[in-house]
Amino acid sequence: MPRDELTLVLSGHLCRPQSADLRPFWRGFIELQRKLPTSRKVGQIVVHSWNPELAGLARSVYAPQAERHETQQCFYPEFVHRIDPPDRFELGLDRLNSTWKNVSLQSVLGNARSRAKAVQLMDELPEQAGQVLVTRWDLGQTGSAQVNQLVADAAMPASHLYLSYFSEVDEGYADMWLLAPWAIARRFSDFDTFVLDALAGENAYLKEFSESGWPRARKKTRYENALSHPVGQRVHALASRLIGAIRSRALGSTLPERVLRRLTNPLQRFLERPPLTAENSCVTALEAAPRTFPPFMALNIHALLKYFILSEGLRERTRFLTHEDFDLTAQSGQLINPTPVVLLVHDADDAAMASLLAESPLPLAAIYQMDAGNVRQHVSDGQGGWGVTALRAAGSAPRDLMACALDAEQRREAGALPVLVMPTVERYLGCTDWFYMNALAKYLAWSRTGYVGLASSRAGKPHLDFPGLQLVRGGGAFSLRMAAGTAEGMRAFLDVADPDLNEVSDRADRMLLEFPVVVKDGGLF
């Protein structure tokens, strides 16, 4: 792996306990692809999960070089005699009515241990250098946008530790992701031991957090406290939207518009004031008013991460970023372990084929070019070359060409790869979201779903296995002109289809048959 490549370290639950919803996992994968810097390729991946039953999914999506999937044990024996008093993290807590209601020693330690175990797996990698992104399977899916949005900028010096910045940074550091040089990331291999020791009072964590004063933390004003509250945040968002709407109607140079802008300026400035924190801002008299927190709040992965970084002497190398700091749209996005797909194109001449081979972001294992009553099979030799074979179809109708192509594909790969059916090459290359498409191809390959519609104007019931998929009845939900699935799944429909592929779609719609369909704003293709 070249030294300017990135190592990805993933940990946690692939699927939350007591849940069958796999969408956070897939959304995390899509989000990660979107936010990774284009110019810093992911060269190595290590993963740890608490879902051994989903190891195959993790493997097919990420293809990690080192992995461990295990059932999370009950950690009670490790801490039941070490926490003193035993109700330390319950005192003063109205658990049912608090945002702390789901926090437990088991969950905090489970999070820390999975991260530590994933980091330990870095030792199994061939290249022990470069920048490391340590994150969770569900990147971007929990918590506020302030803390869950990855900010990865290839132009930033790779020598520092980068973390999310947010208004509560004085209390603790967001742990959704961290970007660090190899040696710093490697220090998280003992993070779980540190967490347990801290919670058991074997270092000054509990004392400083709740008694003597938390380092680098300032007391908030009443206004700031109100703004931290969910109600305050809603009021702030509403006021910001209101002022934004007023100002957007006063962009011109007429006197009333200028007066309106001038009148709303102070209010806008007030609403846009960045949070003032001891971690970042120039604040005075901190020692005169040390900040402490209730004991139950010490069971807090953010505060534990902060104490870990301070204890390890890493604060000077730490830089906090927000997702609004940089405009990285043009420099972000890379496909992780892109899945080869098989493409059937209803109408493609040789010029279109040339542009397809040159421009397809997804690797193409085989292409079936259906044009002027012929089918030509293009198969990659894996070294940049293509072997072309003319296939003999039973007839020249669209159904015959498609059946011929799908039969050939089943003989070639026995339906192992996801198949995409597209009307034209232009339509395929016009995909609006390749990160989603790569995830969808992986989902199809893993789930062996026979058919997924790619265009529907109607919404249906949400599909729990994959984001953006809905179960739609009728109304164009089924089409053999533009679809995805397995060769076998789509071939089955052709036995009952009319030559022009119209009637079968029409009947499926009129019978209100239910099909999984991609429903995305603006469409996928």
Binding mask 23-52 for other proteins (x = CB under 8 A): ----------------x-------------
Interaction between residue 244 and other proteins (CB under 8 A): no
Count the residues in the chain: 525
Q: Is 293 exposed, middle or buried (0-12, 13-18, 19+ CB in 10 A)?
A: middle
Task: Please identify, among the stretches 94-102, 137-145, 325-333, 504-512, the one whose residues bind other proteins according to the rule CB under 8 A.
Answer: 325-333
203-222 positions binding other proteins, by CB under 8 A: 215-216
The stretch near other proteins (CB under 8 A) out of 24-32, 151-159, 429-437, 466-474 is: 151-159
- The only residue of 156, 226, 357, 471 in contact with other proteins, by rule CB under 8 A: 156
Q: Minimum distance from CB of 165 to other proteins (Å)? A: 6
Cα separation, 344 vs 330, in Å, equals 31
Using DSSP's 3-state secondary structure scheme, residue 355 falls into: helix
**Cβ 263 vs Cβ 269: under 8 Å:** no
Contact map string, positions 269 to 308, toward other proteins, x by CB under 8 A: x--xxxx--xxxxxxxxxx---------------------
462: helix, strand or coil: strand
- Report if residue 253 touches other proteins, rule: CB under 8 A: no
Nearer Cβ to other proteins, position 97 or 253? 253
Q: How far is the CB of 153 from other proteins (least distance, A)?
A: 8
Strand partners, 163: 320
In the block, tokens 């232009």 appear at 426
Which is nearer to other proteins, 160 or 473 (by Cβ)?
A: 160
Q: Measured between alpha carbons, how far is 304 from 311 in angstroms, rounded to an integer?
A: 10
Report d(CA 425, CA 356) in Å as an integer.
6
Q: Is 328 in the site for other proteins (CB under 8 A)?
A: yes
The Cα–Cα gap between 56 and 69 comes to: 10
Greatest C-alpha distance within the chain: 88
CA distances from 473 to 23, 461, 482, 512 (A): 21, 9, 17, 5
Tell me which residue of 75, 12, 97 sits closest to 47, measured CA to CA. Answer: 12
Range 70-109, binding other proteins (CB under 8 A): none
Q: Indicate whether 331 belongs to the interface with other proteins (CB under 8 A).
A: yes
Residues 371-430 close enough to bind other proteins by CB under 8 A: none
For residue 230, state whether it binds other proteins (rule: CB under 8 A). no
Amino acid, single-letter form, for residue 4: D
Among 321, 362, 408, 508, binds other proteins (CB under 8 A): 321
Residue with Cβ nearer other proteins (158 or 239): 158
What 97-100 contacts at long range (C-beta under 8 Å, 24+ apart), as own/partner pairs, is: 100/296, 100/297, 100/299
Structure tokens at 384: 């940049």
Span near other proteins by CB under 8 A; candidates 185-193, 328-336, 364-372, 465-473: 328-336
Report, in Å, the least distance between residue 212 CB and other proteins.
13
**Residues 6+ positions from 213 with CB-CB distance below 8 Å:** 287, 290, 291, 292
Of 176-184, 318-326, 346-354, 406-414: span binding other proteins (CB under 8 A): 318-326
Report the residue number, 322 or 380, with the smaller CB distance to other proteins.
Answer: 322
Judged by beta carbon, residue 278 or residue 357, the one nearer other proteins is 278
CB 176, CB 147: distance < 8 Å: yes
User: By CB under 8 A, is residue 137 in contact with other proteins?
Assistant: no
Question: Which CB atom, from 203 or from 322, has the smaller least distance to other proteins?
Answer: 322
- Smallest distance from the beta carbon of 206 to other proteins, in angstroms? 19
Q: How far is the CB of 315 from other proteins (least distance, A)?
A: 8
Which residues pair with residue 342 across a beta bridge? Answer: 366, 419
The HSE-up count of residue 209 (CA atoms within 13 Å, CB side) is 25
- What are the residues binding other proteins (CB under 8 A)? 39, 153-157, 160, 165, 215-216, 269, 272-275, 278-287, 315-322, 325-328, 330-331
